[in-house]
Amino acid sequence: MLKKIAILLEMIKFKLTIFAMPFAFTGAFLAARGIPELRVFLWIIVAMVGARTAAMGFNRIVDARFDGANPRTEKRAIPAGEVRMSEASAMVVVAGLLFFFACYNLNPLTLLLSPVALALTFFYSYTKRFTSFCHVILGVALAFSPLGGWVAVNGSLAGFPWVLSVGVLFWVAGFDTIYACLDADFDRTAGLYSLPSRLGSLRAFRLAGLFHVVAFMLFTLTGIVAGLHPVYYLGVALTAAALFYQHRLVRPDDLTKIHLSFFSMNGIISVALFFATWLALLLAP
């Protein structure tokens, strides 16, 4: 049983919850203008774990046929036979129910928005079948993270700094475009859509760079809109450095360091912006 759980967690890359979780915390801390009450904080964690687990599990299920045909992903748990479809489906159902239960324990608006948020993450899994802008749709799905954190605390959309969510959208669209370069050739062969398969890796890289410039500008604007202490901009500066380094690590003709670029740099960005926001709120007059 423990081995099966470990395989399931690896299948959904559970450790990458770090990408979205800090942004949910950022939204929650901004809503509370400090640390939210413990009960709310814990339910936010449960909701984020449930939502991401359900979304990733669903993605692995609907993409199993393509994963099995792709040399890069053929050893993933489902196509490799380590996890049965029934087991993956059970995980998705349990995680989804956990997400809804957490939202129920937060407030009515969080529960009302929860089906929309989860449906959007499920919808993303089908988008490579018909649009090259699937990376943007993934960005929209993850942009719900700070919004969800805000609503979990305030029970209202009033006052939410929307530029933060839009910044998350462009940040995600940028790094997912870069990561999709790994499968550009396979996507063209399989009839799947992505920006690298449609534009070529060089132009996709340039567009990803533009996405990240816009994300940086919006993260900077978040500090102004939210009235944060100047220390927040240290986090923005670290974000800019991580984004720049991410684009220096990989090139269209050399993707050997893409996992360092994708996992390490993006983890740094989400965590840095959260802690910079927290510190800025602590130092607020």
Q: What is the pLDDT of residue 12?
A: 65
Q: What is the pLDDT of residue 31?
A: 97
Q: What is the pLDDT of residue 256?
A: 86
The residue ranges of the chain whose pLDDT is under 50 are none
The span from the CA of 48 to the CA of 260, in Å, is: 24
List phi, psi (to 5°) of 12.
-95, 5
The SS3 of residue 159 is coil
Tell me the residue type at 229: H
Q: Note the residue count of the chain.
A: 285
Q: What is the pLDDT of residue 14?
A: 60
Domains of the chain: 2-282 (1.10.357.140)
